Chains A and B, each alone.
Chain A
Amino acid sequence: MLDGGRQEPMTTREIRLDIVRAVRIGLLGGIVFLYLTLVGLVGAFSERPLISGFISLGQTLLLLSMLGVGYVTARLLGNPSAKSAAPQGRAIFMSSLAGFISGGILAMLVIIGQRIDVRDVFVNATTELYQILTFGRGLPGVWLLPIVSGVAAGISAAASRLPGKIRSPIVWGLASVAFFGLFSSLFRTILTGISPGLSPFARLFFAPGEGLTPGGAAVFLIFAAGAAASRRLGGQTRVAKAIRSKVAANPRLRWLGYALLVLVALLLPQVSGPFLSQVLALVGLYVLMGLGLNITLGFAGLFDLGFVAFFAIGAYTMGLLTSYGPQGLVHISFWVAAPIAMLVAMLGGLFLGMPVLGIRGDYLAIATLGFGEIARIVVGSDFLAPWLGGSQGIIGIQKPCVGRLGPFVAEGVPRDCFGLELVGPQSMYYVVVAGVVVAALVAWRLREGRLGRAWMGIREDEDVAEALGVNLVGTKLLAYSLGAGFAGLSGGIFAVLVGSIFDSSMQLFVSINVVALLIVGGMGSLPGVFVGSLFLIGLPELLREFSEYRLLFYGLALIVMMQAKPEGLWPSATVRRELHAGEEPTAMSEAGANPA
């Protein structure tokens, strides 16, 4: 379009092109709608209300898709900044067209479905689903679909043309409604956990069961929109900026901020109830493993897809040392067993590292994957069952006891703990936190030191590193070994957390999880490990109702992230430096140009 502000009468050819594009997007949108419906997302989500009595999550999903179709069409067509009404009107019309087509395709599903039962193939194509799609009216109501879709798309297109000042508050408002609605039970639990007296207050916003109350939704909408609007209008920006610069300048205030964060982290299990504490503990255990893999993969660049094997070594060692069941060899205290588990895992890392030192790249990934799977199969086999419990695993792992370092009495006398026994996720959480803190500290110190630099040199170019005097063998083995140690500690804590350990805890899936959370968080970055864990482990656990679709989203998220933000959500400092390379100070004068 040559517009640039000039209004040109639209030629029929251009209109036809636009229509073709809109139709194409509409078809694509229709396929997406069909997918969401047939995969069962719409159906499963419809069980859960977003705003109680008003709109379900399933309907929200469809609605969002319709809005999406409109937005995409509006973006791809025409000139967003043209001032006159005509091109805008045309864009809105095209978007509505696309939406209409998408809805129409979905409507076709309903029409066909009433005639032919496709449930043999598509298990979710049930009459209940059709009812949902037709807003409860059945076949006569099928016309609503394309119409609603078209209207929604049109509105979305119109909204996208609005100036940012108006659009931003709307988006923020809706997003906050979605956010609080999605996590409504989480917030309600925390509020009631802080004080039971807050319960009626919580019920104002968060409906019993799931979702928000209509009033609560309105409040969140207005609040977030208002905040966004005022920020846009610049009213509070100066104050906010002043605060931010003051905090950045004064390191003590920053430490205060961190300390506050730590305090919250420590108090969280007290207010969140056992389920949430379990989730937090699990996130913490993955953080611990992630810190370990961060050393092997993030720092040294050694791709390990069999990482779960070290986790298992730690867990089984802990089991063998502290179980009062048939597999327990000795019965020592957790606090003594944990370092032993770490050491055994470190030895495991050494033994894994030695044969694979010469393998590079993708092959290393597969070789380590192979080792991990071999370990799992052998550990769970009947062949080793007399020692390791086979598929039954090791059960009856004793809980840790604060205040007992010596061995405990064997066989079926669970409570000879004179101190504080750590039962349940809420107390085990602190053990996890302690482990994470120690690991993070060690990882940080290592990175800043001689070994960390050697690792990074190996990651960048191992031949050159070797030529500079780095002993590849020893350095790589240390990377494997230390990483494995962290995983072993994680496994040991896991074993006591759950009270038992089976070979099914050693799945490849865990290894992939850890690699993925490093990628998503940012490789080599310590905060990234936390972020990655929260997203990839915490989030799915919190949204457990959708557990059937968890891995679906997971897979999609991985694909999208690799294209959108491959450096991770919180990339390491070096990567961030690279991203801001243009802002380097110009003290790089020519003064030092001539070496002579």
Chain B
Amino acid sequence: MYRALTERLADWGIVAVLWAFRIAVILIVVVGSVLTLVKGTYTRDQWIDLAIFGLSQGGIYALIALGYTMVYGVLRMINFAHGEIFMSGAFAGYFLATALNRAGTLNANPVLALATVTVFAMAVSAGVALLVERVAYRPLRQAPRLVPLISAIGASFFLQYTVRGLFGPGVYAYPDILALQGEWIIFGVGILKRQVVIIIAAVIMMLILYTFVMRTKIGKAVRAVSEDREVAQLMGISVDRAIVVTFALGAAMAGAAGVLYAQIFRQVNFFMGFVPGIKAFTAAVLGGIGNVPGAMLGGLFLGLVESVGPSLFLDGLGIVAPYQLKDAIAFTMLVLVLIFRPSGILGERLVTKRA
């Protein structure tokens, strides 16, 4: 009798807590935004700045998120080490860019140089990802879910500290490309050239990937394996090869993201992959894990909210130094999506088949 009561209480408690979450979030977002806008602390130009910055970050997140989402699609596994793949690309790009800078080519032929650096970074990232797949994931394909996850965490640490050992623990400055400095005036608003270039580059890469996945034979094979691995095998598709291609593609995107990231933040460091990695994962989940366009949209959305959010939601509520909570906003979105809509914005409703 008493037990039934506590059970009933717990049920109601959960409903209450979930509703409290929903209400709290809506309140913070709506009331905070209204208050901030009324307060008028930020000018229109500042908002636009924040928005563009957010989109450029979002483009980077989107590129990284593609790797997560594709690997999850084929292997149903979260590639915890993907952030380090991104970091490897950034480092590779850094070395080549420094060399090119020393030779003068970086600023003499910025477009060519940047393209070369990007391709190099993509290649290195792909190589690292394939190595990790071969060593840490492939032997564990049949293991229960927890095991590859732990292996991935191990791979993540291993990569981080390998890079630290090889290249040093410091923060290294990325050479500056003069052509990217300064602003363009678009519609009477000054926008940093750098950020525009990044957004455009990110979108282009995503479109390339999307076309590849949708139109080419290999892309179709990858999609088939994500849908149903056994049937794909029966159709004669080499699952190993599809998985390798998936890793390579996702890693290449992450490598490119690394180069772009370095353009904004102008530095590389062995630990740089951790936070972007998690944020990109959030983006992938937001868009619906396994869904490629979803990852793209999720990334852009996350970048935007993360950049504009702290000022928009929190400043009006009187919270000091709202930018500190930037990451918390990203994680809150992650948690909200996972609780309330795990299939993501674009994902399919998952039917819970029980028996």
Contacts and interface: CB of A to CB of B under 8 A. Distances in A.
Contacts of A519: 146, 150
A474 B6 contact: yes
Given A123-B168, A471-B7, A563-B139, A382 B320 contact: yes
Contacts of B161: 548-549, 551-552, 555
A25 B153 CA distance: 28
Interface stretch (B43-51, B232-240, B244-252, B328-336): B328-336
Nearest to B281: A366
- Size bracket, chain A contacts: 35 or more
Contacts of A377: 324-325, 327-328, 331
Interface in A455-508: 463, 471, 473-474, 477
Contacts of A559: 135-136, 151, 154-155, 158
Given A41-B165, A559-B136, A373 B331 contact: yes
A355 B18 contact: yes
B149 A362 contact: yes
Nearest to A368: B335
A383 B325 contact: yes
B150 A515 contact: yes
B13 interface: yes
Contact of B154 (A41, A123, A351, A558): A558
Nearest to B16: A354
Contacts of A551: 157, 160-161
Contact of B335 (A39, A303, A351, A370): A370
B147 A566 contact: yes
Given A356-B339, A549-B161, A562 B140 contact: yes
A508 B13 CA distance: 28
A515 to B, nearest CB: 7
A122 B338 contact: no
Contacts of B6: 474
Nearest to B317: A383
A39 B7 contact: no
Contact of B338 (A370, A548, A556): A370
B150 A562 contact: yes
Which of under 10, 10 to 19, 20 to 34, or 35 or more describes the interface residues of B?
35 or more
B11 interface: yes
A361 B342 CA distance: 12
Interface string A357-373: 11101110111011101
B285 interface: yes
B58 interface: no
B325 A378 contact: yes
A370 B145 contact: no
A552 B162 contact: yes
Among A123, A380, A558, find the residue whose CB has the most chain B CB atoms closer than 10 A.
A558
A267 interface: no
Contacts of A548: 161, 164-165, 169
Interface string A304-317: 00000000000000
A135 B151 CA distance: 37
A185 B204 CA distance: 59
B143 A566 contact: yes
Contacts of A369: 278
A242 interface: no
Main secondary structure of the interface of B (DSSP, over half): helix
A123 B285 CA distance: 38
Interface in A101-126: 120-124
A120 to B, nearest CB: 8
Contact of A367 (B165, B327, B335): B335
B21 A355 contact: yes
A374 interface: yes
B166 A122 contact: yes
Interface in A304-361: 351, 354-359, 361
A381 B319 CA distance: 10
A289 to B, nearest CB: 17
B11 A473 contact: yes
A562 B147 contact: yes
B10 A555 contact: no
A142 B147 CA distance: 43
Contacts of A473: 7, 10-11, 14
A377 B334 CA distance: 15
A492 B10 CA distance: 28
Contacts of A373: 278, 327-328, 331
A556 B151 CA distance: 9
A473 B327 CA distance: 30
B321 A121 contact: no
A223 interface: no
Contact of B166 (A38, A356, A358, A471): A38
Contact of B149 (A35, A365, A380, A383): A365
A121 B1 CA distance: 71
B217 interface: no
Given A366-B281, A383-B324, A554 B157 contact: yes
Contact of B339 (A367, A477, A516, A566): A367
A512 interface: yes
A215 B335 CA distance: 61
Given A377-B327, A473-B11, A559-B136, 17 more contacts: A357-B14, A358-B339, A367-B334, A370-B331, A371-B331, A374-B332, A377-B324, A377-B331, A383-B319, A383-B324, A463-B355, A473-B10, A515-B150, A548-B161, A555-B154, A562-B136, A562-B151
27 contacts: A38-B165, A39-B162, A124-B166, A351-B17, A355-B21, A358-B339, A361-B145, A363-B342, A370-B331, A370-B334, A370-B335, A373-B278, A373-B327, A377-B331, A381-B324, A383-B324, A473-B10, A474-B7, A548-B161, A555-B156, A558-B154, A559-B136, A559-B154, A562-B143, A563-B140, A563-B151, A566-B143
| 10 closest A-B pairs by CB | A558-B154, A555-B157, A555-B158, A39-B165, A552-B161, A123-B168, A559-B154, A377-B328, A367-B338, A562-B151
Interface of A: 35, 38-41, 120-124, 303, 351, 354-359, 361-363, 365-367, 369-371, 373-374, 377-378, 380-383, 463, 471, 473-474, 477, 512, 515-516, 519, 548-549, 551-552, 554-559, 562-563, 566
